[in-house]
Amino acid sequence: MGVAEDVAAQEFWAGLRLTTQARIGLGRAGDGLPTREVLEFRAAHAAARDAVHNPLDVDALATAVSALGVGEPVHVRSRAGDRSEYLRRPDLGRLPGAVEVVAADRNVADRVAAANSPGARTIWSGAGLGCGDGMGMGAAGSRTDAEEVLAGVPYSGADVGFVLADGLSPRALSDHGVPMVAALMAALGDRYTFAPPVIATQARVALGDHIGAALGVTTVLVLIGERPGLSVADSLGIYLTHHPRPGRTDAERNCVSNIHPPEGLTYARAAQVTAALVDGARRLGRSGVDLKDTSTELPSAATPLVLDASSGRVNDIRRPGPSLVLDAVDPE
């Protein structure tokens, strides 16, 4: 390839790279990749591995979450005893193993009483109590039942509960968890009461069903670190489950994913979509496949569209049916 052709090829790929974080047009050096591309690939792979294995700083996160004024957080650990077991046994990450209070000030009783008074937007029925050890073992050495473990989670009866879960990228939760909760609180506004937040470690999404049921919330929002890739290692997802209880399936949830500004979804937009889904779930009475957000598909708020599940076609009138489609909103 001549110099002119090489320059033209680079300009072509440079334009396409502006539209994606994928590795495209890497070039070649003989029969292999250029050294720079190989080193960048290895660095991205190392970042992804670090995102999975570096533990969450629970105390630092708890301090930052407490500052939001939503209540003192409780820490729930799954039955996975360590990161290795968590990765090998996804089932253990879905079950609660232990509960403890985490706060910058361990004497939280006075602050809990003030921040969660009857007139406040956050409801609290008492500070969580330690229960079991990191493996979720009882005093006799046997596995503690989920209900017994979660007796340490304060029942609130609130409208919405926040579970901040490390998932497969604790880094994502550290980077985006607190500003995302702040954006959600602003988007949900005074229409809803909030339960005290729960920080979950070695956690899978379904652990939020147990926590939401223990909190007694109508809707639980699980903010969880998503599986890292070679382009993004700090992506956060929000899983919404209406009337959470153990045994809920993935078909009964809604997900807002790829939250990692500035490249991914912004906090404001993610909060906007999530708040609309919370509203929709309350109207429909359930979450999951029957609840749709089509705000990005609608031409304007004045012309709502409804997806006809029987035909797969989009009609331009609203009609009753098994699915609820949300009104359009203007993204920020």
Instruction: Give residue-wise pLDDT tens across range 302-324.
Output: 444 344 444 333 333 333 344 44
Residue 160 phi, psi (nearest 5):
-130, 140
**pLDDT higher than threshold 70 for residue 54:** yes
Using an 8 Å Cβ cutoff, are 17 and 134 in contact? Answer: no
pLDDT at 325: 46
**pLDDT higher than threshold 80 for residue 81:** yes
Residue 206 phi, psi (nearest 5):
-65, -15
Residue-range domains of the chain with CATH: 55-284 (3.40.50.11240), 294-332 (no CATH)
115-128: per-residue pLDDT in tens? 333 333 333 333 33
113-163: per-residue pLDDT in tens? 333 333 333 333 333 333 333 333 333 333 346 667 787 788 899 999 999
Sign of the alpha-carbon torsion through 199, 200, 201, 204: negative
